[in-house]
């Protein structure tokens, strides 16, 4: 079997290309796709506990901590102590963070709309069903 015929090769290649595309767009703001994804996962109104971000995004805690530090250093987020549990911190977007969130959201929606315009509803439905099955296979292997 050739690499191009394997599921993981095609997923990896596609994800690499998506990452490259988003990183090119994010570079205008001196951030990366992964930082943009963090921004999109922070609740705009209530903030998000830092302990919730990693599992939501599939990031290791050390990578997440480094990324949060960078976002804090450039003024995109602020950390506030959880009023119910002083050991926890809640991540909030600053004014500029909210602006960047809208930009990231717009780029994600543009990409999705382009993909949806190239595929019919049945193809999209099949695509998502196949991804669910792949995730089931992966989870069953754990």
Tens digit of each residue's pLDDT (9 = 90 or more) over 67-120 = 999 999 999 999 999 888 888 899 999 999 999 999 999 999 999 999 999 999
Residue ranges of domains in the chain:
3-141
What percent of the chain is predicted at pLDDT more than 70?
100
Token pair in block for residue 93: 């977007």
pLDDT at 96: 95
Q: Which helix or strand (DSSP H or E) is residue 80 part of?
A: strand 77-82
The Cα–Cα gap between 74 and 87 comes to: 24
Q: Is 3-141 assigned to CATH 1.10.10.10?
A: yes
């Amino acid at each position: 079997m050739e690499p191009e015929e394997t599921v993981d090769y095609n997923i990896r290649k596609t994800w690499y290309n998506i990452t490259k595309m988003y990183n090119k767009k994010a570079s205008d703001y001196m951030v990366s796709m992964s930082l943009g994804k963090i921004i999109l996962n922070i609740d705009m109104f209530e903030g998000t506990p830092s302990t919730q971000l990693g599992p939501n995004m599939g990031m290791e805690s050390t990578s997440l901590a480094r990324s949060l530090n960078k976002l804090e250093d450039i003024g995109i987020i602020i950390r506030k102590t959880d009023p119910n549990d002083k050991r926890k911190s809640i991540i909030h977007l600053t004014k500029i963070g909210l602006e960047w969130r809208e930009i990231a959201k717009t780029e994600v929606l543009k990409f999705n709309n382009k993909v949806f315009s190239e595929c019919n509803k049945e193809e999209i439905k099949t695509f998502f069903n196949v991804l669910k099955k792949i995730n089931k296979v992966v989870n069953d292997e754990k």
